[in-house]
Amino acid sequence: MKRWQEKAKEAKADAAKKLAAAEKKLADHEQALKDELARIDAEHAQALKDQQKAFKDAADAQARAAAAAEAARKRREEEQVASHKRQLAARKAHFEGLHSATWSEATTGISML
């Protein structure tokens, strides 16, 4: 009977060792999963920061491009206005040269209604 009791004690001790080993393995696995989750969270946070910076840079570049396009449009408009003024002055001078007896500033006084 003692032999059976010793075997039962050995089996119980062996089961306790196996249980302790399994619990340690489970704790190690849980820690590994926590570490992996922390690493993934850190990578995600960094990716969000990078994405936010990229969006900000893109928005800044778009704003600069829009400002440059607006400035170019205004320059072209000013050049066109100046060109039209020069053309009108040339036409007026030509008209005054051909018709020196008329006043180029006055209206014709004719109603077309």
Domain boundaries, the chain: 1-68
Query: Is the alpha carbon torsion for 17, 20, 26, 29 positive or negative?
Result: negative
Which pLDDT tens digit goes with each residue over 31-87? 999 999 999 999 999 999 999 999 999 999 999 999 999 999 999 999 999 999 999
pLDDT of 9 reads 87
CB-CB neighbours of 96 under 10 Å:
14
pLDDT of 84 reads 96
pLDDT of 107 reads 60
Query: In 70-95, which positions are buried (b, 16+ CB within 10 angstroms) versus exposed (e)?
Result: eeeeeeeeeeeeeeeeeeeeeeeeee
pTM, two decimal places: 0.50
